[in-house]
Chain A
Amino acid sequence: MDYDKLLELSTELGYKLMSSGAEIYRVEESIYRLLRAYGLEEPQVFAIPNALIVSVTTPQGHPITRMRRIPGHGTDIELLERCNALCRRLCVQTPPLEEAQAQVDGLSGRTHVYRASQILLGHAIGTAFFAPLFGGGLRDVLCASLCGLTVGVCVLYGKKFMGSNAFFRTAICSAVGSLLALILVRLGVGADVDVVTISALMALVPGVALTNAMREIMAGDMISGLSRTAEALLTGTAIALGAGAGLAIGRIL
């Protein structure tokens, strides 16, 4: 068996799992099982949020290692489910390596991805219906939807103009959202500025990071858990700062 190819295959699958937002233990366990299924005795896998290291020893006693850096990524549930299903299938069937590699390479192309307009619609619907949960009325729903749409546009297209600093980007998005909320309420469209702002900013709130952080910690991956907790705290601070700035600007106007 070509162990270089096997290593490449497993690292690629791990990379895809990681960039779809899978937990560390899922990535480590998936690669471990895959390598075991292909007959390796003791494969070593180590993952932290932005790096993945896989090391195997061939039956001839020759160790080979591959390391991949994971860039910043969002959450793509569809890709995660596909990767997970493919990994299970590969572990059971263990097809020839070329075939398996082709299946792994085909993953990204075949998964369903929403168009930008649909994602924006999602932002608008999602934020709109948070307003009733915080006690807003029909007017607040409309305003939250509009503000949420604006925040969505900033999130989707803002990367080009605001640089790659996530903290700064979140703060700007948050400032834009809260400022727009304040303006809409001043114009008499929205009823409660607090409700509209909170709903509009729900898309930025680090709910996913927080949940993931706790899952990592409970699974025993302390490094990942702590770094994700830090991420959640920083994002929360950025939102608060941005909203504060937005409201302050609104008061001056």
Chain B
Amino acid sequence: MEILHGYLLPCASAFLACLGFTFIFNVYGVGKLICCLGSSLGWLVYLLGGKSIFAAFLAAVAIGTYSEIMARVRRCPATSYLLIALLPLVPGGGVYYAMSYCVQGNRALFFDTLLNTVGIAAALAVGAMVASSLFRTLFPRLPRITRK
């Protein structure tokens, strides 16, 4: 029961949220499923890591690795999977709460939230980058069948 509510439902929710966004970014076919599974994976890692900045970093690494693997398998740009799978992790909530504290005039909480938001955004960006750079160095390209 705890696993269901703690992990399964949020991951399913991330999956469906990304399914919506695949329509907006015009993803079609198998790519849809890959994007959505990536976002579930990312959110699972984020939850297991305890929803901290470091957890966001780990989640981004997981998504980055996953999308690079999928890109190699399908011979498609990794960006497509990365962009959408990262969406649930983007700190939209942080921006909103920071704004809300700012409007209320609560300066301490405003700066606290803002810094946390910037931290998460940076962690996501660096995590995804580290993953794909490492992956690109280790496995430059799958052997390709050349036709003449």
Chain A positions within 8 Å of B, measured between CB atoms, are 21-23, 26, 74-81, 84-85, 88, 92-93, 112-114, 118-119, 121-130, 132-134, 194, 197-198, 201-203, 205-208, 210-215, 218, 236, 239-241, 243-244, 247-248
Contact = CB atoms under 8 A, between A and B. Distances in A.
Interface in B90-148: 90, 92-93, 95-100, 102-103, 121, 124-126, 128-129, 132-133, 146-147
B27 interface: yes
Contacts of B24: 119, 122-123, 126, 203
A198 B98 contact: no
Given A81-B31, A240-B99, A23 B79 contact: yes
Nearest to A152: B24
A81 B43 contact: no
A114 B147 contact: no
Query: Which size class do B's interface residues fall under?
Result: 35 or more
B79 A198 contact: no
A123 B20 contact: yes
18 contacts: A21-B79, A75-B26, A78-B31, A80-B80, A85-B76, A112-B28, A118-B23, A126-B19, A129-B16, A201-B92, A203-B21, A206-B90, A207-B87, A208-B87, A210-B125, A239-B96, A240-B96, A244-B99
B79 to A, nearest CB: 6
A23 to B, nearest CB: 6
B20 A127 contact: yes
Contacts of B98: 240
A124 B102 CA distance: 29
Contacts of B13: 129-130, 132-133
B79 A126 contact: no
Contacts of A244: 99-100, 102-103
Nearest to B18: A126
Contacts of A218: 129, 133
Nearest to A83: B77
B14 A133 contact: yes
Contacts of A201: 92, 96
Contacts of A239: 92, 95-96, 99
